[in-house]
Amino acid sequence: MKKFILASLVLVSTFSFAQVDLSSTRYGVTIGGNYSRVRNAHNPSGPIYGFQAGGLALIPVDKNNQFYIQPEVVFYGAGETGKDKDAKGTPGYDAIYSNSYVSVPVYFKGYFSEAESEFFAMAGPRFNFLIDQKVTDPSKPYYTEEGLDIPGTGNVNGKASSFNFALGFGLGYSYKRQLELALKYDMGLSDIYKGLRNEPGTDPNISKKKTEHVVSIGLAYIFE
């Protein structure tokens, strides 16, 4: 919660002090592929591949066409599978723990120069709102959303949090400020599987925060 409040304050401060020009806002569409993993949650643990697609706005915050605020609203697939290369043939290797979100990243974006075709960097908070969760073939019965009421531990379940928060970073290239390719990393900060902290056992990872991390590559088209 503290990190969410801090990110919100940084965002408000950015809008307050920047020379925001809403009248010159441009809009675009974006699509990309996601490589996602979750730390300290399911066992075995491996990556899942998904996609994201949605819309964006490009809002100038200076007079030199170099710095912008870029909010987006996208469908965003993340989660993990059981496909650990060391777990082939074991229960749970074919497991899928898939989370689908409406995701709202808000980036501060800077082009390296005022040139039309140029590299850029971006960073900012990402707010994920869960719209669907699917668990298939889990390695343990309580990895499902419903979980199990295990004596001595209470209810243990794999229900994902309805909201989670991440910090995103990206680097990309823009062709004439219209067609853009970007590589991004979203570092999850929220505990998305709080119910698994009651899991029985002595593995030290049980008590650790379960965070979702996503690497993506995406293509955006920004309208004139």
Which amino acid, 188?
Answer: G
DSSP calls for 65-122: S-EEEEEEEEEEEEEEES--GGGTTSTTTT-EEEEEEEEEEEEEEEESSS-SSEEEEE
How many other CB atoms are found less than 10 A from the CB of residue 164? 23
pLDDT in the model for residue 23? 78
**CB-CB contact of 110 with 137 (8 Å):** no
- Residue 109 pLDDT more than 70? yes
pLDDT in tens, 26-78: 999 999 999 999 999 999 999 999 999 999 999 999 888 899 999 999 999 99
**Cis-peptide, bond into residue 44, ω within 30° of zero:** yes
pLDDT in the model for residue 20? 73
pLDDT in the model for residue 19? 63
pLDDT in tens, 167-219: 999 999 999 999 999 999 999 999 999 999 989 888 898 999 999 999 999 99
pLDDT-derived band at 17 (thresholds 50, 70, 90) equals very low
pLDDT in the model for residue 47? 97
Q: Which two tokens stand for residue 153?
A: 């531990």
Name the fold adopted by 2-222. Porin (2.40.160)
pLDDT in tens, 121-160: 999 999 999 999 999 999 999 999 999 998 888 899 999 9
Instruction: Spell out the long-range contacts of 149-153 with Cβ–Cβ below 8 A and sequence spacing 24 or more.
Output: 150/198, 150/200, 152/200, 153/198, 153/199, 153/200
Q: Please tell me the distance from the alpha carbon of residue 189 to that of residue 169, in angstroms, as a whole number.
A: 14
Q: Please tell me the distance from the alpha carbon of residue 20 to that of residue 38, in angstroms, as a whole number.
A: 36
pLDDT greater at residue 69 or residue 224: 69
DSSP calls for 119-180: EEEEEEEEEEEEEEEEEES-SSGGGSSS-EEETTTEEE--PPPSEEEEEEEEEEEEETTTEE
Domain boundaries, the chain: 2-222
Q: Which of 162, 185, 166, 182 is nearest to 174 (CA)?
A: 182
Which amino acid, 210?
Answer: K
User: Tokens 């719209």 — which residue?
Assistant: 131
In degrees and rounded to multiples of 5, residue 145 shows phi and psi of -60, -40
Average pLDDT rounded to a whole number, residues 74-96: 94
